[in-house]
Structure 1
Amino acid sequence: MTTAMGAALRRIQLGNALSAFGNGFTVPFLFIYVSQVRDLGASTAGLVLMTFAVSALVVLPFVGRVIDRRGPLPVAVAGTVAAAAGSMGMGLASTESMVFAAAAALGAGIAVIQPTLATMIVWCSTPTTRSRAFAMQFFLNNLGLGLGGLLGGQLVDTSDPGSFVRLFSIEAAMFLVLGVAVATVRLPKAPRVEDAVPTDEGAKGGWRTLLGDRAMVQLCVLGFVMFFACYGQFESGLAAFAVEVTRISPATLGIALAANTAAIVLAQFVVLKLVEGHRRSRVMALVGLIWTVAWVAAGISGLVPGAHGVATALLISTYALFGIGESMLSPTVAPLVADLAPARLVGQYNSAFALVKQLALAIGPAVGGLMAGGGLYVAYIAMVIACSLLITTLALRLGRRLTPAQDNPLVTRAQRRPAKAEAETETEAQTSERTAVHV
């Protein structure tokens, strides 16, 4: 990377980390805030969480096209302003209508920010540095969320609505910091996305092009299963199973969630060194197997109620294994989306994958919650184990459709170097020979 690209990337990553830090102040307490502090009830709190997902699903189909037409910078700034307004509105809201309006603005703003940041990271990286760039983003996101949640827990007081106003004010301020950070970035044109902002005519047919890309469609299906089987279960099915079947306390569940974050933060760069140079499809397939083991451990934890220590250790191990799998996906999936995208449709591809993720995060908790509510825990564990094995199968099938450069850009580049050096040597030899003949 050039010095300008590196400086731009560092600014983007710093703004993103601070935004995640602010987000951590409110995310763990949002349900409690709406239902208890504002006294709007649990059902309203559930609808507010659904509003986040719905607003994201509304804006994401259009965000990619705007990014590719106008560039990611103005879109990212607009997203941060909307998110900041929504966050501040949430802290000040006292009625249902105000809470829903604030949730819609916050959800839409965050949904806009995600693909724009991904596109900016693509612009500021090369195919061989992209995995590290996305791994760093994922690492900073989790570190920021964890630290924000830790500090937010020290400031929150359910008997004092003013304490929540402070939390949401901090979150809003961090969104604005992100907006300032990206607004002052000078985006270079990375070789992989040369001329990435097309004319209006060049941007037409973006969805048609994407849906005709068999590899991207397969990756979207794989991504949906991934987010459904892991992220979509944290706050619903898996949490219900842990409390109702494994019989752990809510405090121990908090330790398990902390183990997930710790596994990501501690393992991210160790895992990155291990997966770099390996085929991305094989890494994703391995994640499916790791998550299969995690779900089996969770299932076993519900079969040993008499050995509470063993059951607790198994469940905490489940969350830790999920974290290791997530740290393997962060340098793999997002860079692959970028490498599959035509240069003029980088934003469209990032937005489409964000839309798939949002759908999975909306459907996953609903399915997990319904099965848990019906007491169908055996069927639930069987379903998520099957989904994990499906991840492995889909990843291997995807690998057969990827080019060598898409599946393993580092090895492809290493193979090109000797060939290029050999070609240059041969050219020099031929030049010398012609010179000698001429003399």
Structure 2
Amino acid sequence: MTSITATTGSGTGRTVRVVINKEAALPATYWYLWTGLLINRLGGFAVLFLSLYLTAQRGASPALAGLIAGAYGIGGVGGTLLGGVLTDRWGRRPTLLAAHFGAAALLVALALTTSLPVIAGLTLLLGVVHAAPQPAFVAAIIDVVPPELRSRAFNLQFWAFNLGLAGASLLAGLLASWSYSGMFLLDAGSTLVTALLLLWKVRETRRPARAPMAKGLSVPLTDRIFLVFVGLTLLQALLYSQTNTIIPLAIAADGLDPRVYGLVTALSGTMIAVGQLLVPRLIDGRRKDRVLAAALAVMAAGFALVTWADGAVLYLVAAAVWTVGSMLAAPPNAEINSELAPAELRGRYQAVFFLTFPAASFLAPALGGAGLQAFGAGHWLIVAGVGLAGAVLHLVAGPARERRVIGTGGGGRHPSP
């Protein structure tokens, strides 16, 4: 809790004390959104085993299974953009409800379908409706949470996302050995529970636009300050995507047991589950560009350690370091995104921001695989260099972002042409 004391009135000696309580409770609507996100992630186990389901149960070749699974990713890109536009035009609540009810229906259809072409089409549509709620979730959180509490809100959101993902991974392994069709049906059930919770407890949070809205994505795609921030977020996503694409290859190249990679991912997930709630105490009150610069520098140090890793211990140390960096980066990334977006275009700004993650999931294995083949262990020094460059660029770009936020009261605005 902090207080500001000021004297007002000419010669009156009146003193006004303003108290800002950083431990104030988050709004109830936020917690319903948070609970819906957690349930949704916990239930999101079917897609994790999609490729195995296609090969083991539907007779697809590995190549065909990869193409069908890739359709999910393509749908995700389209769904992210569609969700952003609908979030601003329809509203947060209608977008969330349409996406969740649609996803539940598609998961039931996947459980009952045996035709591979139909499964491919359903998988593409599932990618759309799974990605569409992301901009709406975040836009609704920004709508209902005051700026001084957003760091804590986004930190808890990141924690719930990772906790749900860890739980889904555990459940997927258990359910896949029981029944793939049952796995899809249980996923549909958890999605339906989320939809009903949102229908029951969450009202529309979007405020009426003060001026006619721009069409399409023209405003965020011409907002230079925002696009610089998105580009730096892409660099961070490229770094973190190494952990599930190229790190497994490096571990295998060192002749280590695949269980080492399992330990690495388990350590990272455990650190986030245990430590993420402590992050706000470390970063509150600090300039966000400096926090992000420090986060990227820490991530760079973690990947640099992989250069010398040849056993499980050093891989685990490296994982601990890069995980700390990613934990520090999550809240300020979300806060900056919320501050730069005009209120009436929050969904579209979120959509463009979220595109960095599918882009990184494509670029990281493509560039990382070539880098590892060409440079061997030296690849990790290049990755570390990218992280350090991102840290410097955050410090360079930060002042312009801060001036923009201060000039608009933290609510975003249409950028000047």
Q: TM class, shorter-chain normalised?
A: 0.7 to 0.9
Alignment of 1:250-329 (within 5 A): 250-302=258-310, 311-329=311-329
- Of residues 204, 228, 235, the one that matches 2:244 is 235
Is the partner of 2:244 in helix, strand or coil? coil
Matched, 1:83 2:103: yes
- Structure 2 distance, partners of 1:332, 1:282, is 10
Matched, 1:385 2:384: yes
- Structure 2 distance, partners of 1:148, 1:67, is 27
Q: State the partner residue of 1:307.
A: none
Q: State the partner residue of 2:253.
A: 244
Give the Å deviation of 1:391. Answer: 1.9
The answer for unaligned runs of 5 or more in structure 2 is 1-20, 411-417
Q: State the partner residue of 2:184.
A: 168
- Structure 1 distance, partners of 2:102, 2:138, is 18
Q: State the partner residue of 2:236.
A: 226
Q: What is the one-letter code of the residue matched to 2:233? A: G
Is the partner of 2:201 in helix, strand or coil? coil
Q: State the partner residue of 2:55.
A: 35
The two structures, once aligned, show a CA RMSD in angstroms of 2.7
Give the Å deviation of 1:22. Answer: 0.7
Q: State the partner residue of 1:96.
A: 116
Identity of aligned residues (%): 24
Give the Å deviation of 1:183. Answer: 2.0
Give the Å deviation of 1:296. Answer: 1.3
Q: State the partner residue of 2:223.
A: 213
Give the Å deviation of 1:177. Answer: 1.6
Contact 1:4 1:188 in 2 (8 A): no
**1:15 to 1:226, Cα distance in 2 relative to 1, 3 A:** same
Give the Å deviation of 1:145. Answer: 1.7
> Could you give the per-residue CA deviations for residues 327-361 of structure 1, whole angstroms, max 9, x where no partner exists?
21221111211111111111111111112322222
Aligned pair count reads 387
Contact 2:308 2:377 in 1 (8 A): no
Contact 1:85 1:106 in 2 (8 A): no
Normalized per residue, which structure has more helix? 1
> Could you give the per-residue CA deviations for residues 269-290 of structure 1, whole angstroms, max 9, x where no partner exists?
2122101111111111111111
Is the partner of 2:217 in helix, strand or coil? helix
Is the partner of 1:235 in helix, strand or coil? helix
**1:31 to 1:320, Cα distance in 2 relative to 1, 3 A:** farther
Larger Rg: 1
Q: State the partner residue of 1:140.
A: 160
Q: State the partner residue of 2:133.
A: 113
Q: State the partner residue of 1:432.
A: none
TM-score by length of 1: 0.81
Is the partner of 2:286 in helix, strand or coil? coil
Q: State the partner residue of 1:344.
A: 344
Q: State the partner residue of 1:10.
A: 31
Give the Å deviation of 1:301. Answer: 0.6
Q: State the partner residue of 1:426.
A: none
The answer for unaligned runs of 5 or more in structure 1 is 190-194, 303-310, 413-439
Is the partner of 2:318 in helix, strand or coil? helix
Is the partner of 2:345 in helix, strand or coil? helix
**1:88 to 1:368, Cα distance in 2 relative to 1, 3 A:** farther
Is the partner of 2:158 in helix, strand or coil? helix
- Structure 2 distance, partners of 1:297, 1:4, is 40
TM-score by length of 2: 0.85
Give the Å deviation of 1:206. Answer: 5.8
Give the Å deviation of 1:151. Answer: 3.0
Q: What is the one-letter code of the residue matched to 1:252? A: V
- Structure 1 distance, partners of 2:58, 2:369, is 24
Contact 1:82 1:108 in 2 (8 A): no
Contact 1:5 1:188 in 2 (8 A): no
Alignment of 1:19-34 (within 5 A): 19-23=40-44, 25-34=45-54
Q: State the partner residue of 1:182.
A: 198
Contact 1:50 1:362 in 2 (8 A): no
- Structure 1 distance, partners of 2:204, 2:350, is 19
Contact 2:296 2:388 in 1 (8 A): yes
Contact 2:341 2:349 in 1 (8 A): yes
- Structure 1 distance, partners of 2:404, 2:328, is 19
Q: State the partner residue of 1:73.
A: 93
- Structure 2 distance, partners of 1:175, 1:100, is 20
Contact 2:33 2:202 in 1 (8 A): no
